[in-house]
Amino acid sequence: MTSVPRVLDKLRAIPSVERAEELGESLFTRMCGEESEVSTSSGMPLENRALKETMSRREHVCVLFGKPFDTPDHHEVLMMNEKDQIVGFDVPAGMRSKYEGREDLVWMSEDFAMDPNSIGGEIRVVLVAQELSCIGKEDGAERPVAMYPSPSTDMLLRSALSFDRSGKYATAVVSFDTLR
């Protein structure tokens, strides 16, 4: 069995995954075009590193899931100043203990903190791809990452793949290289 079917089988076996489908070249190209046009609602500059990482892989599947299907252990949304210092960051559940109780941070929500000592200059939002641990070399996948699409890209994917539109599930684009 080639890598893509093995990866799809593995993803579909995860209890929180409702569906997983391969993205064809045409849909992947449309998805990238839509995602590359995304901007922030505040007008803050956006650097979509997640899209760049996704585009640098060869294979792409879309996952429809309820609860997270892989626990992130690094930041996925950053705010950075012009000196590339991190000003703000999301705090995934797997990293919460590292930041709880820190009085030097300003908490904007339960899962987003800012460092007031780094604020200054132009600030941009940086989206980072999630490195996955739920699939890997044993499944024929190298460098697996997940990108969580913007609302407009999410709607494009849901429509093209006939995914549930109730809001009960989220989508992710999982990308990887196949083993040679």
What are the pLDDT digits (tens) for 65-112? 998 777 777 788 999 998 889 999 999 887 888 888 888 999 999 899
Query: Are residues 116 and 135 located together in one domain of the fold?
Result: no
91 in a structural domain: yes
pLDDT at residue 121, rounded to an integer: 81
Q: Which structural domain, as residue segments, surrounds residue 9? A: 1-41+55-70+129-180
Query: Are residues 96 and 136 located together in one domain of the fold?
Result: no
Nearest to 51 by CA among 76, 81, 26: 76
Question: What pLDDT band is residue 180 in, cutting at 50, 70 and 90?
Answer: low
Nearest to 84 by CA among 36, 31, 122: 122
Query: Are residues 65 and 151 located together in one domain of the fold?
Result: yes
Among residues 91, 111, 127, the one where a domain terminates is 127
Query: Are residues 121 and 164 located together in one domain of the fold?
Result: no
46 in a structural domain: no
Is the confidence at residue 127, as pLDDT, over 90? yes
Number of domain units in the chain: 2
* C-alpha to C-alpha distance for 29 and 16, rounded to whole angstroms: 27
Q: Fill in the DSSP letter of residue 68.
A: -
* C-alpha to C-alpha distance for 158 and 155, rounded to whole angstroms: 5
Query: Are residues 87 and 66 located together in one domain of the fold?
Result: no
Is the confidence at residue 116, as pLDDT, over 90? no
Query: Are residues 113 and 138 located together in one domain of the fold?
Result: no
pLDDT at residue 167, rounded to an integer: 87
* C-alpha to C-alpha distance for 35 and 30, rounded to whole angstroms: 9
Query: Are residues 65 and 142 located together in one domain of the fold?
Result: yes
pLDDT at residue 105, rounded to an integer: 92
pTM > 0.85: yes or no = yes
Query: Are residues 105 and 138 located together in one domain of the fold?
Result: no
Query: Are residues 62 and 20 located together in one domain of the fold?
Result: yes
Q: Residue 176 corresponds to which tokens in the numbers above?
A: 């990887």
Is the confidence at residue 142, as pLDDT, over 80? yes
* C-alpha to C-alpha distance for 147 and 53, rounded to whole angstroms: 8
Query: Are residues 16 and 65 located together in one domain of the fold?
Result: yes
pLDDT at residue 126, rounded to an integer: 95
Query: Are residues 33 and 113 located together in one domain of the fold?
Result: no
Query: Are residues 85 and 115 located together in one domain of the fold?
Result: yes
Distances (CA, A) of 138 to 2, 23, 60, 90, 145: 12, 21, 17, 30, 15
